[in-house]
Structure 1
Amino acid sequence: MHISRAKLKVRYSETDKMGIVYHSNYYPWFEIGRGEYIIKSGITYKNMEEQGIMMPLVETYCKYIEGAKYDDSIIIETFIKELSPVKVIFNYNVIREEDNKILAQGYTTQTFINSNFKIINLKRSHPEIWEKLYALYEDKQSS
Structure 2
Amino acid sequence: MQSETQFIARYAETDQMGIVHHSNYPIWFEAGRTDFLKKSGMANSKIEELGILLPLSHIDCNFKSPARYEDEIVVKTTIRKMTCARIEFEYEIVKDKDGTLIAIGSTSHAWTDKSLKPLNIEKKLPELWCILKKAMG
Q: TM-score range with shorter-chain normalisation?
A: over 0.9
Q: Normalising by structure 2, what TM-score? A: 0.98
1:41 and 2:40 are equivalent in the alignment: yes
Partner of 1:8: 7
Paired with 1:85 and 1:127, the residues of 2 have a C-alpha distance of 10
What is the 5 A alignment of 1:106-117?
A: 106-117=105-116
Q: How many residues end up aligned between the 2 structures? A: 137
Amino acid at match of 1:90: F
Provide TM-score, normalisation by structure 1: 0.94
Shift of 1:89: 0.5
Counterparts of 1:25 and 1:132 in 2: how far apart (Å)?
29
Distance across 1 between alignment mates of 2:10 and 2:40: 29
Report the Cα offset of residue 118 of structure 1. Answer: 0.5
1:93 aligns with 2:85: no
Q: Distance in 2 between matches of 1:99 and 1:40?
A: 25
Q: Which ranges of structure 1 fall in alignment gaps of 5 or more residues?
A: none
- Secondary structure of 1:90's partner? strand
- Within 5 A, what are the aligned runs for 1:1-143? 2-137=1-136, 139=137
> How many angstroms apart in 2 are the aligned matches of 1:41 and 1:15?
31
Q: In 2, Cα distance between the equivalents of 1:47 and 1:108?
A: 21
> Identity over the aligned pairs, expressed in percent?
34
Which AA in structure 2 matches 1:52? G
Question: Which aligned segments of 4 or more residues in structure 1 are displaced greater than 4 angstroms?
Answer: none
- Equivalents in 2 of 1:70, 1:50: separation in Å? 36
Separation of aligned partners in 2, 1:5 and 1:94: 10
Quick one: which amino acid aligns to residue 67 of structure 1? P
